[in-house]
Amino acid sequence: MSRGRAAGYEEQREQILLHAARLFAQHGYPGTSMNEVAQACGLSKPSLYHYFRDKYDLLVHIAESHIVRLRTLVDEVMHEQLAPEARLRELIHRFVREYAQARYAHRVLTEDVKFLRPEDAERILGTERAVVAAFAGTIAEQWPHVGKAQLAKPTTMLLFGMINWMFTWFRPEGELDYEAMAPVVADLFCGGAPALKAPARKTPRRRAAKAQGSG
């Protein structure tokens, strides 16, 4: 009869993932060793392998657990059946709050996904595409002209860029915290999106010139 896992096993796994995500975000996946992860966790290297097979196993768990959490947040908001703008504002609020707690994991997802094996990358990026599609669908529903101009996905990515960039400069120990900044992000985005106009599309000549220049 096999032995059950010791009490606190899952909690220790979560702590390892938090430390590994921080190290990967600060030094890059290739620049971080299992020895460094073990030291950050206060564990021996053999003990670390009791929880994760190798460094790649850590990478997959960090990226996948983070994107699954974001997908769960999206599903929860969609289930509330809010009007489009209220839904978008709630999505922004929850994502800002989540990124504040998981900014290292999010950086791993955006920076180190290139190190994933094809089967893992497809699964994780597939979940990420579903998250993007939910935002883009809400934006197109709120502002149909944005959807008709095929700008729903580009504006979604600009919104994510706004949120991501905030974590490189914002210091929540000041007068404002992330809860206060979330509606600022929503106001900026929702105030600017109605002014969007369809950009000039590439003419056949411009497309041909670009193709020749890259040849």
Whether the CA torsion 176, 22, 6, 42 is positive or negative: it is: negative
> Residue 168's pLDDT is what?
84
Task: Give 121: exposed, middle or buried? Use CB within 10 Å, 0-12, 13-18, 19+.
Answer: middle
Domain residue ranges of the chain, discontinuous segments joined by +: 55-196
| CA angle centred on 159, ends 87 and 65, rounded to 5° | 75
> Residue 199's pLDDT is what?
84
Residue 46 CA to residue 36 CA, distance in Å, equals: 13
Chain CA centroid to CA 105, Å: 8
CATH of domain 55-196: 1.10.357.10
Q: What amino acid occupies position 125?
A: L
> Residue 201's pLDDT is what?
73
> Residue 1's pLDDT is what?
38
Phi first, then psi: give them for residue 148, nearest 5 degrees: -65, -30
Q: What DSSP line would sit under 142-165, residue for residue?
A: H-HHHHHTT-HHHHHHHHHHHHHH
| pTM for the whole structure | 0.87
Residue 106 CA to residue 88 CA, distance in Å, equals: 20
Q: What is the pLDDT along the chain (215 residues), one digit of tens a residue?
A: 344 566 688 999 999 999 999 999 999 999 999 999 999 999 999 999 999 999 999 999 999 999 999 999 999 999 999 999 999 999 999 999 999 889 999 999 999 999 999 999 999 999 999 999 999 999 999 999 999 999 999 999 999 999 988 888 888 888 889 999 999 999 999 999 989 888 887 766 666 666 666 55
> Residue 40's pLDDT is what?
97
Residue 93 CA to residue 99 CA, distance in Å, equals: 10
